[in-house]
Amino acid sequence: MLERDIDRVFFSAQELQDRVAELGRQITADYDGKSPLFVGVLKGSFVFMADLMRCVDTYCDIDFMAVSSYGSGTTTTGAVKINKDLSYDVEGRHVLLIEDILDSGVTLSYLKKFIEGRKPASVSICTLLDKPARRKADIRADYVGFECPDAFIVGYGLDYAERYRNLPYIGVLKPQIYQ
C-alpha cells in the first residue's frame, strides 16, 4: 500500500538495523557506568530510539521532549517551540539527545542549550540521519547513523504531513505526493 507512494528507497530495513546495532555498541562502550538519560525528541525519533535502546547494554533511563519547528510542509519555519518539557531533573546526569534527523540544526542547537542550562554532567547528540549540506546552526552530532543527501525523506519515524512514520525503511516520496 504505502510502497506505491515511494519513489526510491534510501536505507533498507536491514541497513537501518545493522547501523543501529553498531551505534548501540558504541554508546554502550562510551556510557557504561554513567547511567545515561536518553532524551527522545518527539515524534520523529520514537522508532529509532526504540530500536537503539534495545542495542544498548548498560543501565539507562529515558525521557521525551516534544518540540515543533516545522509546519506540515517540508521546510523549517526557524522557530522552536517546546510542547513537552522533560519530566526528570537532569542536573548531574549524562544526557544523550536522540533525534531522527539533523537538518538545519535549529531544533537541536536550541534543545542542547536548553538542557545545558539545567547543569547536566554532559549533553551529547545521537542522530540517525545527518544532512550537513543544509546546516544553519553551529551544531554537530556526536553519533550519526548515516549522512544523507539533501532530499526530503520519510519512514522509520520520519513523516510528511504526519504520514509514513510507520514505513520500516527510509525513502523518498514520488513528486506528485507533495502536490
Q: Which residues bind ligand IMP (CB under 6 A)?
A: 44, 69-70, 76, 99-108, 152-154, 158
**Is 103 one of the annotated active-site residues of the chain?**
yes
Given the complex with Mg ion, which of 27 and 41 has the nearer CB atom? Answer: 41
* Contacts with 37 (C-beta within 8 Å, 6 or more apart), sequence order: 60, 61, 62, 63, 88, 90, 93, 94, 95, 96
Least Å distance between CB 157 and ligand IMP?
9
Q: Enumerate binding residues for Mg ion (CB under 5 A).
A: 44
Choice between 152 and 169, CB closer to ligand IMP: 152
Which is catalytic among the residues 5, 7, 100, 103? 103
For the bound state, the minimum distance from the C-beta of residue 159 to Mg ion, rounded and expressed in Å, comes to 5
CB of 175 to ligand IMP, least distance (A): 14
Q: Which does 39 bind (CB under 5 to 8 A by kind): Mg ion, ligand IMP, none?
A: none
**CB of 34 vs ligand IMP, minimal distance in Å:** 25
- Report the residue number whose CB is nearest to Mg ion: 44
Instruction: Tell me which of Mg ion, ligand IMP, none is bound by residue 28, counting a contact when its beta carbon lies within the kind-specific cut-off of 5 to 8 angstroms.
Output: none
Residues 77-109: b if buried by 16+ CB within 10 A, e if exposed: eeebeeeeebeeebeebbbbbbbbbbbbbbbbb
Catalytic residue IDs = 103
